[in-house]
């Protein structure tokens, strides 16, 4: 049974400063194929636990770890990758210790999980697995996205880990992109992954998940950056349905938070020096590429997500600060209301109303998250709850709700094209 609404669920929304009481470290999962499989972007400390910490879902639509099939790493900064080992090979407990986590695929050479990332990710994973004496029944593969200056990491039998399958070294094209890195079979046809470089202190990658056929939805997910303009060509024609852009820091006026002391110039200078963005920078890029939805991610530790268990005054200051961050981005973007992500926030990317292939329902008439379905203990801002629900922002899983009565509809994939067949010139695999 296929769901036709794509979703992105945030598992961790904090900046590199580490986990806080209200935010876990960076990770999100995207359900873009509609078959229940998840593609993860980044996998920082605590990600595994977030699967167990999801808000209660009455229809049992919570995400499960074995749904993760591909992991895309944006960059190698410490807090982005250390938990990969645990996600790949969680410590078995109790009677299930002998059982594979992925029993349906654990035999043979087929990798259970595919990892894509910058140069160094293969050695990193291999090293932690070797040094922690990890041996499991599952297989994994690492494909590295290489720049011309990067060297290749051997996948010869003597170099690889017992559980590793030889991966590909994917060199960027002459224009500097990795087009058609991988793909999956989506609700209407192939969903293709492109990647491009973005400016950060160290090499960093942005990923684009796009439908190669109508309705051509596109989700752009950026890693840490102070300037993602280098990958603009991947983000336009068509413009994305959703842009997820970091906003690690922000200038907050004292009218909003009496304790805020930093001037705009100080905030901006610091953010740029660390390779990070302010909300208006995220809004500016969203405007450039014509993003239809904008979510701010990778939020600094000084901007906690409001928590209902806090006292009214603190809660309202925190809500106001987050609202101010959203306002700053929205003002520059000029196409709607940006949202600052919180842990377990789920964003829906339904079929656009202007494009309803094969009679499928569209965004306009099918995405309804009832107010009563929102988890009461989520950091939601009461006054906006209803608004948010109407727009398709939700904290709990409602992926199946909208299409429950449409799921029996059949659709063909007759116009299925394989974009990897028309692989763009410069992209080489060796």
- The number of residues that bind Zn ion (CB under 5 A) is 2
In contact, 295 and 338? CB cutoff 8 Å? yes
Residue whose CB is less far from Zn ion, 31 or 224? 224
The yes or no reply on residue 144 touching Zn ion (CB under 5 A) is: no
Q: Which is nearer to Zn ion, 111 or 223 (CB)?
A: 223
**Least distance CB 17 / Zn ion (angstroms):** 11
Q: Show the tokens assigned to 348.
A: 């829906």
Q: How far apart are CA 264 and CA 202, in angstroms?
A: 25
Nearer to Zn ion, 205 or 321 (CB): 205
| Nearer of residues 22 and 26 to Zn ion, judged by Cβ | 26
Binding mask 333-372 for Zn ion (x = CB under 5 A): ----------------------------------------
Is 139 one of the binding residues for Zn ion (CB under 5 A)? no
- Contact call for residue 326 and Zn ion (CB under 5 A): no
| Cα angle 196-4-185, degrees, rounded to a multiple of 5 | 55
For Zn ion, the closer CB: 77 or 339: 77
What strands, in cross-sheet order, belong to the sheet with 339-340?
Answer: 178-185, 190-198, 204-211, 218-222, 242-246, 294-297, 339-340
Q: Which is nearer to Zn ion, 180 or 223 (CB)?
A: 223
Q: Binding of Zn ion at residue 276 (CB under 5 A)?
A: no
Q: Which of 124/333 has CB closer to Zn ion?
A: 124
d(CA 13, CA 303): 11
Name residues contacting Zn ion, limited to 47-106 (CB under 5 A): 77
Spell out the residues 6+ positions from residue 327 whose beta carbon is closer than 8 angstroms to its own: none
Binding mask 217-256 for Zn ion (x = CB under 5 A): -------x--------------------------------
Q: To the nearest whole angstrom, how small is the minimum distance from the Cβ of residue 75 to Zn ion?
A: 6
Q: Are strands 140-146 and 169-171 parallel, antiparallel or unpaired?
A: parallel
* Alpha-carbon distance values, 348 to 112, 116, 122, 183, 237 (Å): 27, 24, 32, 20, 21
Q: Which is nearer to Zn ion, 69 or 75 (CB)?
A: 75
* Rounded Cα gap, residues 235 and 281, in angstroms: 16
Check the CA dihedral 122-128-129-131 and report its sign: positive
- Under the binding rule (CB under 5 A), the answer on residue 396 touching Zn ion is no
> In angstroms, what is the minimal distance from the CB of 80 to Zn ion?
7
- Provide the minimum distance between the beta carbon of 300 and Zn ion in the complex, in angstroms, as a whole number: 13
298 touching Zn ion, by CB under 5 A: no
- Any contact of residue 210 with Zn ion (CB under 5 A)? no
List beta partners, residue 190. 185
Please state, in angstroms and rounded to a whole number, the distance separating the CA atoms of residues 326 and 369.
21
First-to-last CA distance in the chain? 37
State how far the Cα of 114 lies from the Cα of 68, in Å rounded to an integer. 9
Chain residues binding Zn ion by CB under 5 A are 77, 224
């Amino acid at each position: 049974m296929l769901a036709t609404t794509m979703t992105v669920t945030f598992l961790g929304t904090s900046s590199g400063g580490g986990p806080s009481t209200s935010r876990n470290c960076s990770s999100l999962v995207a359900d873009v194929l509609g078959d229940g499989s998840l593609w993860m972007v980044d996998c920082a400390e605590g990600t595994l636990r977030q699967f167990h910490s999801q808000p209660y879902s009455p229809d049992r639509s919570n995400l499960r770890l074995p749904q993760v099939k591909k992991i895309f790493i944006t960059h190698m900064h410490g807090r982005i990758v250390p938990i990969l080992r645990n996600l790949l090979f969680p410590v078995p407990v109790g009677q299930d210790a002998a059982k594979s986590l992925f029993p349906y695929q654990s035999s043979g050479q087929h990798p259970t999980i595919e990892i894509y990332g910058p140069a160094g990710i293969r050695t990193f994973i291999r090293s932690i697995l070797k040094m922690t004496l990890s041996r499991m029944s599952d297989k994994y593969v690492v494909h590295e996205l290489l720049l011309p200056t990067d060297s290749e990491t051997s996948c010869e039998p003597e170099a690889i880990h017992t559980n590793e399958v030889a991966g590909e070294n994917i060199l960027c094209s002459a224009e500097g992109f990795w087009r058609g890195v991988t793909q999956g079979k989506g609700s209407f046809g192939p969903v293709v992954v492109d990647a491009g470089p973005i400016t950060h202190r160290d090499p960093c990658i942005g990923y684009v998940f796009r439908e190669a056929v109508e309705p051509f939805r596109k989700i752009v997910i950026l890693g840490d950056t102070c300037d993602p303009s280098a990958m603009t060509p991947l983000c336009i024609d068509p413009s994305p349905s959703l842009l997820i852009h970091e906003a690690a820091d922000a200038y907050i006026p004292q009218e909003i938070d009496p304790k805020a002391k930093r001037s705009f110039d100080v905030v901006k200078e610091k953010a740029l020096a660390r390779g990070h963005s302010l909300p208006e920078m995220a809004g500016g890029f969203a405007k450039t590429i014509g993003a239809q939805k904008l979510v701010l991610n990778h939020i600094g530790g000084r901007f906690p997500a409001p928590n209902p268990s806090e006292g009214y005054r603190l809660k309202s200051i925190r809500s106001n600060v987050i609202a101010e961050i959203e306002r700053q981005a929205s003002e520059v973007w000029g196409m709607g209301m940006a949202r600052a992500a919180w842990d377990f926030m789920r964003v829906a990317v339904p079929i656009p109303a202007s494009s309803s292939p094969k009679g499928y329902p569209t965004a306009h008439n099918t995405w309804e998250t009832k107010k009563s379905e929102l988890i009461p203990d989520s950091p939601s801002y009461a006054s906006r709850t209803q608004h948010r629900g109407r727009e398709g922002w939700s904290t709990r899983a409602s992926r199946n709700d909208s299409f429950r009565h449409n799921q029996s509809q059949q659709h063909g994939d007759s116009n299925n094209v394989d974009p990897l067949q028309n692989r763009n010139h410069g992209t080489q695999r060796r």
